[in-house]
Structure formats: C-alpha cells, structure tokens
Chain A
Amino acid sequence: MLALVTWGSRAGLDARTTAAVASVHVLLLLLFVLAWHDGVPLWPTSSLIEQQARVQTAFLLWALPWLAVRSMPRVSHSELALSAALLARRPGTLVLAHLLGSALVVVAVVVAAVPVVVLAGQMSVAAFDGVAVRALDTGAVCAMAAASAAVWSLVTTDRVWAWVGAQGTTCVICVPALWWGGPWLGGAIGITGALVTTAVAMSTADRTCRYVAD
C-alpha cells in the first residue's frame, strides 16, 4: 500500500504550486506575528491566536480543496479501470492511494506553518488545549479537502468544476461543524465527514470504474 500511496502522490504532485500555497499560508500567518500582534482592527476583542486561527481556517477552506484537486491525477474512468486491473487492485484502492497522496500534499502546506503558529501561541500564552483543538480543526479541513477532491475528481475531469465541488463539500461539512460544534466536537465532526466522504469515493470508484467505458 505504501508503494501505491507514493505512486498516488507522485501521479498528481505539482511541487511548485504546493510551495506557492505553503508560502502564502506562512506569510499570512506571519503577518499576525510581525504586523498585527495587537490584533486585526476587525476583531479587537479576540486574542492574537484566536484571530490567527480564524484567518488560517478561512484560508485553508479556500486553498486546500483547490490544491487537493490539483494534486489528484486527471484520469478517466477507463484509465482508472485499466490501471486497477493491471495492478490487481480494486479501483477504490487506487482512489484511496490518490487521496492519501493528495492528503500528504495538503498536510505539507499546514505543517509548513507550524513554527509560526507555535510562535503566535507563545505570544498569546495560549493553553495547550487550545493548540490541540486548533490542530484537530486544521486536520479536519485537510482530511475533508482531500476526500472531497477525490470524490469530485471522479465526477468530472474538469479541474475548475472539481474544485467548485470540492470547495462546496468541504465548506458544507466543515463550516457548520467548526463554527457551531465548539472545541473537539467540531473537529471530530469534520474528521467523521472526511471518513464518510472517503468511503463514498471508494465505493463510487468500485462501481463506476468496474469496466472500461463502452
């Protein structure tokens, strides 16, 4: 399976785009440490780390589905069926490999900003609990972005439509969960949504890519 995941990430990896998104992400969060350490005028009552977390979540909700869709290889149902047959795997397993490959890419974008988040946390004297909740929330957005990108890449080979679909799915699950779910529960709902979406992607692939197209 590890070889398949490596292949899945290699198949769609666009290193320059990933580096560009990671750079914008880090710079955006760095602004809170360098320029906005007194807080953004829009939310004067929130702490630095809370404000940074909100902006980060909004950025990731927009950027990660796009990056995840770009990281999924553009293959037709027939190509997926042929690859699965040659590798003696079910098409759903190949989709899972692509999904995990894409998840590695989006997680890399998040991990790149960890030092800045830690720095902001120290400046805000945030409790460990708050940092852990934020990590879970961010993980939920990553997982949902990769899972919904996998589903929408099966629905269409057009990247713009796949992005619109993935973005919509990610926001529909993550925004209410993170906004109203509260600490821990919001992230848990997001992760559960991602697992369900992954199962949908795998079963859709097994059903629609069973045979090459007539």
Chain B
Amino acid sequence: MTPFIRLVNVSKSFGTRTALDGVHLDLARGECLGVTGGNGCGATTLLLVMAALLAPTSGRIEVDGLDASTNLWAVRRRLAYAGGATPRADRGTVGQYIALVRENRRSVARVPVPEADALLRRAGLDPELPMAALSTGAARRAANVAAIATGADLLLIDRPFDGLDERGRDTFLSWFQELRSAATTIVLATGSEREAQSLGTRTVTLDRGRVVADRTAGGLDTWSSGMRGAVGAQ
C-alpha cells in the first residue's frame, strides 16, 4: 500500500547545525504518530518539513503521492500545521478566526467540519474572546481547533498539550482519537513520551535530528534510522 506521507532520506541544516539527519518515514492514512525527544531534538523541524513549510536541505517528501517540492500548493491543501501561536495581529475574536479558517478550507476539506462555535465550545473556548487577549492555554486551544477546523487529511500539530490543564488535555486527546478513527492522519510532536504513547499507534524518538527509535503500539519495534536505511536499501 502506498503510504500517505513518505520522507526519503530527509536532512535539514541551518548553517552548520544539522536539525534533521537522513530521516526515513512512511505513514499510512489514518495512522497517528507521536514524535518525541528532548529539547532541540528536531521534532519541530520535522513537522515543519512534513508540512512543506520548510524546504529540506536534501531528501524528498511525498504527500498522497505528490512530491512536495514540485506540488507545494497542492500538498498544502491536504494538510494543516499548527504551532503554538495564533496570529498576533488579528484584532477579531477567536470565533471569527476559526470561522475564517473553516470557510477557506471548506472546499478542500476531506470531512465535513462542524460550525466554528461548536468546535470552540467543545474546546472550552468562548467564541467572543479577542484574539489579542488569549492566554497561553487559550492560544494553544485555538491553534489546535484551527488545525481541526481545516478538515484536512493530515494534521501536524506541534506540542498540542503545552499550557493545557488536565481537562483540556483529555478533551483534545479524545478528539484526536476520534479524528484518527475517521481516517485522518495525525502527527503530534510532544515533549512527553507518555503523551505520545497514549495517543499514537506509533512513536518516533529523535535525537539530534536522527530517528533513534520507532515503536508501534502493538509491540516494541525499535531500530535506528541508519539500520532502517540499510534495510530499505536491500
């Protein structure tokens, strides 16, 4: 079966610093991947590269069979990336922002998305909150909801639980599991191994830009990216 997203020997350097080093990764449609590792392990860079928001220094990324370097805009219509920040300059309310995202993505959404107010109520956010006055936790919730509001095939969310209380964490955990059962592919970068395991069918651990462990929920299946590359070459 063709993977929904495929990374082939992807590397990314910022000057002399290597953020990703020869990453190979195949992800099937509906799979949920948790990316973990310590600070500076390259998880955020990996998500940005997968979202075609950063060009890799070398290697290839394919989404739904499309090469991201030559079909950038078509690839971006299939996915949604959410970092921790929401637009600082937006002077509207969070309800208006989510409605704008939903409206713009409606024609390319894979699944029908509920109204903005319903999404925000589920996330525990007041739609009338001004964007400029969101607390850290509320901005995190809004960023997560914005990604969900796209109805995209592939969600890439960086640190989705940062700044959330336990209730917020549970809300989004069950929401992501629900989306996964609807065949949405989800990649989440998280600092906590336990968080990654609780939501992922698969967990990848990065260390200095290299994949050092790749575990599937069913059983332990660990190998280094170097070994995996060798297996792939055979």
Contacts and interface: CB of A to CB of B under 8 A. Distances in A.
Interface of A: 3-4, 7, 10-13, 73-75, 79, 81-83, 85-90, 210-212, 214
B91 A10 contact: yes
Contact of A3 (B55, B89, B91, B104): B104
A139 to B, nearest CB: 27
A12 B34 CA distance: 37
Interface in B54-74: 54-55, 72-73
Given A4-B100, A88-B108, A10 B54 contact: no
21 contacts: A3-B99, A10-B91, A10-B96, A11-B91, A13-B91, A74-B89, A75-B87, A75-B88, A79-B85, A79-B88, A81-B53, A85-B51, A86-B101, A86-B147, A87-B100, A88-B77, A210-B72, A211-B53, A211-B54, A211-B55, A214-B54
A73 B89 contact: yes
B87 A212 contact: no
A184 B104 CA distance: 39
A214 B14 contact: yes
Contacts of B99: 3
B42 to A, nearest CB: 14
Interface in B79-127: 80-83, 85, 87-92, 96, 99-101, 103-105, 108
A82 B89 contact: no
Interface of B: 14, 48, 51-55, 72-73, 76-77, 80-83, 85, 87-92, 96, 99-101, 103-105, 108, 146-147, 150
Nearest to B78: A88
B23 to A, nearest CB: 17
A11 B87 contact: yes
A214 B100 CA distance: 28
A85 B79 CA distance: 9
A7 B92 contact: yes
Contact of A87 (B83, B90, B91, B105): B105
A104 B76 CA distance: 30
Contacts of A214: 14, 54
A102 B85 CA distance: 24
B100 A7 contact: yes
Q: Count chain B CB atoms within 10 A of each CB in A81, A83, A86, A211 and give the residue with the most.
A: A86
A74 B88 CA distance: 9
Contacts of B108: 88
Contacts of A89: 104
Contacts of A212: 48, 53-54
Contacts of A86: 80-82, 101, 146-147, 150
A84 B206 CA distance: 28
Contacts of A83: 87
B14 A3 contact: no
Nearest to B92: A10
Given A87-B101, A89-B104, A211-B54, A75 B48 contact: no
Given A85-B76, A86-B80, A214-B14, A79 B87 contact: yes
Nearest to B87: A83
Contact of A88 (B83, B88, B105): B105
A11 B90 contact: yes
B12 to A, nearest CB: 9
B61 to A, nearest CB: 13
A81 B73 CA distance: 12
A149 to B, nearest CB: 14
Given A13-B91, A79-B87, A88 B53 contact: no
A90 B105 CA distance: 13
Given A12-B89, A12-B91, 7 more contacts: A3-B100, A11-B87, A11-B91, A75-B87, A75-B88, A75-B89, A82-B81
A12 B96 CA distance: 15
